[in-house]
Structure 1
């Protein structure tokens, strides 16, 4: 079926024809894009009514599986005190005898006094049911005494390489706070996992609708473990995916599939895109690995505390070398500039040692505190970035006052500096850390204003076009899919989004108010705004 889109603003993201008057799709592909009056035949006219048509947005980095899982847990994002957390957790009771009570999204930086949760707080809910509260960053969690005992962390915790089980100096017992691999390693996660498959698959569908409501047509599951991969494969075979889903797998799954280099070909809207690795934690949880100490060090830490690495130089070198020589794109989580340095040094060494000239397009994920001298050294290895600019809006004041201090906070997520060096970068929101609100991502890239009204790094503000490009063509580029996605051109997929307004015609401080009216995947409407 041929569909004509006209009577609105059509932003193609194609530099040879930035704007068009009409677009025609036939089934799943774009048949024609042009200016003036369309003279050909068509079956259906989709009148844009003055609204804006753009390429479907590309998810720079998120976690579909965790997004779906979060819909099955207690939502703690709106909790602004420890008592709020406890109240919401009580509403999550009862749970089955063999299940954990899980809450996700708390952020102690919004609490009065900013005191973190501890196991004794959670013991007030139950000493018989294991309880986990996962931090908004996803890199830290607090577990009650029952949960710590089941994990083998209480009363005498083991040493976890790349992780921290925080201890109470007074009692010499765990506080309940688990950082990085103490929370995230496979053994701990397996003990905390108790997902009903039917509920999970229903949550996959609901999560996709959330992504689609923000105009995303290609989404990601970063750090996919084997059990997650099996669930995603099953969901794909059952026809549950309406959007394209790309996995970047963990170390174990990479080693298992190392000899099967990823290709940009989907089966039932699902494929593996590459491998994922972690080098540090998050700045808002103060576990990111910095080269200089935190502005205000966490309680109980020495004054020279800079966070910590979660992998050795040899580990990242070996992983990078294996990815390069087996033709796998590698995405690496780096928030602190010390972690960024570790990646640049070790990936660069692996690239030189391999002798590879392949266009693998490695990506530094988050890159919150990457320095200009580090951006310079990323150019030769064609390393891209994915910026989490919503940090400025949600945590910018906290970064300015407590995490980084004024100088480093003003250079957070230096997107303009990356653009000046012609480095490819995307924008993301690390869902479910925050919702994958693409217009808020554009708003934050253009304005760089905190929720408290402070501007962080005016010299790093992007133009509207640069922000849109990061969500479209550069997104397609990082997925190795620029031949089929990212712009509105003949022969590409009919992945489209209709916005209420042309972002160029809206005041910069109103960009986040633009609404996604419709999301179209391969010619089929996946989401339409109610009303």
Structure 2
């Protein structure tokens, strides 16, 4: 018998012969067998498709190149087996779609990966100010950290968390690390930092420096002298200047390290949630060189970097794993850093503020409204960071005004974080067509801090109210906002399902959801958020072969053990990009 093969576009190799000894050309063309040869066939474990409102399983899945070509029973899957097909027995492990990252900063994760780790446990060892000092002193002993110091001249640490420290660090503490080199540590929220005296000097910050709009330079009590702590736009100005010292080779190293971290946690799509020109150029360069392992969708910082919205990468499809999805706005700060903009005062105000302190906005109302309207006019999907309920109100109002002026259509503006959203605001999200990308992982990392210092009860119980969103007839996505925390998918899932704090208290028990809903918020729902629900987020014929293999089924383990699940393998567009070593 003779087998005749032809390439059928992007679908793959299709068998066009039949079992007669000598088929005529007309027979071969007019009666092709609708069977496509698979690269891989997976079977022998729980294959969770994430299709439907309740869990659906398949016996087998077949992939060819970048695509899924079959999902269903094992016998039918084996019809796609030919000479070079790899048969992969899961041996009881669980396969499901790759995780889709609803919001984070992949370029920032790269920076985190090459500087000193000053996160508290369980992600680091910095639980006192003295421990931060010792970690920074030892930074040049690690290869990538030494490279960063040599390239930039700065000693940088990422992740300090005053909620877990014995006191708030100041410039005097960081001067103990060095008085010759600039030293900067970035808060775990990414919205504040602490600079030593040399870093303040190089940044032109002194007693005569005014607070920038949308930012604060904290002062030594009783004077105008900066104490080293910089909030919001004061912090971002220093960080953006530092970023300019990072050359292309270091940027490429950072991006490679970041991708590996996402793949390790099962993410096959990552987000660059506030892309500046440096981040965009690094991603573009990696795309051109074929160095992206997973899909990355970037959102341009609208205030500073909207010029690259004219790029050919601003498209609904990816070019070598990269595309621009829209723009990003920032309407306030961080609740754990006490810079988010609330309508009611903080439970305990931060240093230097009175009992009426409610945080502050990034923009005045009219400026905020104009930015959203401009995004709508340009058909740019807009992601807006708004943590405090006052900032959330500003965003909802901006969308409502733009909808009234320009007419409603499927723009999917996204509320990023929405931590302190009120019940009365939720219905307005639905009416305005706003998609909520929530942050329930806060319940673990800062739940105790929100309850005891930031918000108090009952406000703290209602942060990231996932069940209230579902009850309103909407869906949501759940994110980690790395490098605010590590891009740990199972911390996300655990927090979304359990809402357990560091001290093992449950914050907002009525807002817990089941594990299947938690998985939906990490797969098909964020795919919808990105306008990618037709190509990602579930196992279905024709969708991308973005798959992950886990050691156990998240739907069949005790909820309190979800955080302990492990990714065995991550497959991006049919290629293995991570495999756990035994």
Report Cα offsets for 1:67-116 as digits up to 9, x if no partner: 0011121110121111111111111247449621111101111112xx21
Greater alpha carbon shift after TM alignment, 517-526 vs 92-101? 92-101
Query: How far is 1:418 from its partner?
Result: 0.7
Which residue of the partner structure matches residue 382 of structure 1? 433
Are positions 1:286 and 2:338 aligned together? yes
Query: How far is 1:276 from its partner?
Result: 0.3
Report Cα offsets for 1:307-342 as digits up to 9, x if no partner: 111111112111111111111110000111111111
Alignment of structure 1 residues 457-476 onto 2, 5 Å: 457-476=508-527
Report Cα offsets for 1:200-253 as digits up to 9, x if no partner: 312212211110111100001111011221121112111110100010111232
Query: How far is 1:168 from its partner?
Result: 1.7
The CA distance in 2 between the partners of 1:32 and 1:96, in whole Å, is 51
Are positions 1:110 and 2:157 aligned together? no
Are positions 1:90 and 2:142 aligned together? no
Aligned residue-pair number: 527
Tell me the secondary structure at the aligned position of residue 432 of structure 2: coil
**2:387, 2:419 within 8 Å by CA — same for their partners in 1?**
yes
CA pair 263-219 structure 1, distance change in 2 beyond 3 A: same
Match of 1:70 among 107, 112, 115: 112
The CA distance in 1 between the partners of 2:226 and 2:87, in whole Å, is 64
Are positions 1:431 and 2:477 aligned together? no
**1:258, 1:326 within 8 Å by CA — same for their partners in 2?**
no
**2:309, 2:324 within 8 Å by CA — same for their partners in 1?**
no
The CA distance in 1 between the partners of 2:247 and 2:220, in whole Å, is 35
Are positions 1:420 and 2:471 aligned together? yes
**1:382, 1:423 within 8 Å by CA — same for their partners in 2?**
no
Alignment of structure 1 residues 133-282 onto 2, 5 Å: 133-185=185-237, 189-191=240-242, 193-251=244-302, 252-257=304-309, 262-282=314-334
**1:62, 1:428 within 8 Å by CA — same for their partners in 2?**
yes
The CA distance in 2 between the partners of 1:521 and 1:313, in whole Å, is 42
Report Cα offsets for 1:48-84 as digits up to 9, x if no partner: 1111110111001111111001112111012111111
Tell me the secondary structure at the aligned position of residue 475 of structure 1: helix
Tell me the secondary structure at the aligned position of residue 379 of structure 1: helix
Tell me the secondary structure at the aligned position of residue 22 of structure 1: strand
Query: How far is 1:170 from its partner?
Result: 2.2
The CA distance in 2 between the partners of 1:36 and 1:421, in whole Å, is 39
The structure with higher relative contact order (CA 8 Å, sep 6+) is 1
The CA distance in 1 between the partners of 2:196 and 2:151, in whole Å, is 16
Please tell me whether Structure 1 or Structure 2 has the larger radius of gyration of its CA atoms: 2
The CA distance in 1 between the partners of 2:496 and 2:442, in whole Å, is 11
Are positions 1:5 and 2:5 aligned together? no
The CA distance in 2 between the partners of 1:420 and 1:340, in whole Å, is 19
Match of 1:26 among 48, 55, 64: 64
Which residue of the partner structure matches residue 51 of structure 1? 93
- Scaled by the length of structure 2, the TM-score of the pair is 0.88
- C-alpha RMSD over aligned residues: 1.7
- Scaled by the length of structure 1, the TM-score of the pair is 0.96
